[in-house]
Amino acid sequence: MTTTATLLLRLAAPLQSWGDHRAVLDARHTAAQPTKSGVIGLLAAALGRDRDEPLGQLADLTMGVRVDLPGTLLRDYHTVSDHRGVPLLSANLTAKGRQKPTSKPRYIQPTERFYLQDAAFLVGVNGPADFMKDLTAAAKAPACLLSLGRRSCPPTYPFVLSLTDSPLIEALTEQDWLASPHARTVWQRRNHSAAPAAIDVPATIDDPDGDTVLGDQPTSYLLGRNRHTTRRVTHRLITLSTGFTPAPDTPAGEEHDPLALLGW
């Protein structure tokens, strides 16, 4: 009988950005929460895997993401030019496979990068217990630098929260809300000084019977030949204790805000 374990990771940082496969030359978007290809890539880096190595057991992990703090969207605008003052290259190739200069010549390319700022996610990955022990050790002492979607987005600590025998959904439910004291103050400011004893946060969990299909299941990380397939997920709300002390004379239901999850 194969036993499983769940590794809980805290993915929080000033900035993080999770590719949503809409990358084009002049705009790099971010998904609203960590993608499976991003998280598996992060764990592969922790293990010191090369890009051309097979994913092995990493590909079979079951993943769930709890959105404790969704963060806000940051747009980074900048320009690209050649320091030699020559025209930028286009996507068109010559017969010899070399890029052609832009026509008419373009010397500056404006670009946009999008990030999530001040977001915090609880990510759980579930797999065979022996492999999860090795993965936990690697996450605590990674072989390569870790990043939250892009190299410019290192994680803050604690990064590894725990390794538990609990199934994935239970593990995601048992972990306390990841909001720091400052984040709780900001949350209250944005929610009209509300102090509910508990809140509901969204979660996305791998589920073969799920009704949503995502295209971020990695199959290869080879440079220039990244490959992904689809996975099924289910969405749910998880109720978490906030640590706030509700006012004793607050009527029941007064703090219910149906748009709270939208960040309004």
8 A C-beta contact, residue 37 and residue 21: no
Q: What is the pLDDT of residue 23?
A: 58
Alpha carbon distance 30, 33 (integer Å)? 8
Encode pLDDT of 11-45 as tens digits: 999 999 998 766 566 788 999 999 999 999 999 99
Sequence-distant (≥ 6) Cβ neighbours of residue 264 within 8 angstroms: none
Residues 4-9 have a mean pLDDT of 98
* Separation of alpha carbons 149 and 32, rounded Å: 12
Q: Name, in order, each residue with C-beta under 8 angstroms of 92's C-beta and a sequence gap of 6 or more.
A: 99, 100
pLDDT (0 to 100) of residue 90: 83
Sorted by where each starts, the structural domains of the chain and their CATH numbers stand as 4-79+109-241 (3.30.70.2660)
pLDDT of residue 49: 93
133: DSSP letter = H
Given the structure tokens 């052609």, which residue do they identify?
100
Question: How long, in residues, is the chain?
Answer: 264
CA-closest candidate to residue 168, choices 245, 255, 250, 66: 66
Q: Are 3 and 163 in contact (CB under 8 A)?
A: no
pLDDT > 70: what percent of the chain?
A: 89
> Residue 214 to residues 20, 30, 66, 202, 210: CA-CA distances in angstroms?
10, 15, 16, 16, 10
Residue 68 pLDDT greater than 90, yes or no:
yes
Question: Which of 75-84, 103-112, 195-204: highest mean pLDDT?
Answer: 195-204
- Mean residue pLDDT of the chain comes to 89
Say how far apart CA 1 and CA 7 lie, in whole Å.
20
User: Percentage of the chain surpassing pLDDT 90?
Assistant: 61
- The answer to whether 61 and 242 have CB atoms below 8 angstroms apart is no
Residue range 181-238, pLDDT digits in tens: 999 998 888 888 888 999 999 999 999 999 999 999 998 887 666 688 999 999 999 9
- Work out the pLDDT band at 132, boundaries 50, 70, 90: very high
pLDDT top residue among 264 and 70: 70
Instruction: Please give the residue that has the higher pLDDT: either 157 or 95.
Output: 157
Predicted confidence at residue 240, as pLDDT, reads 95
Rounded distance, CA 83 to CA 214, Å? 40
Decide if pLDDT at 172 tops 90: yes
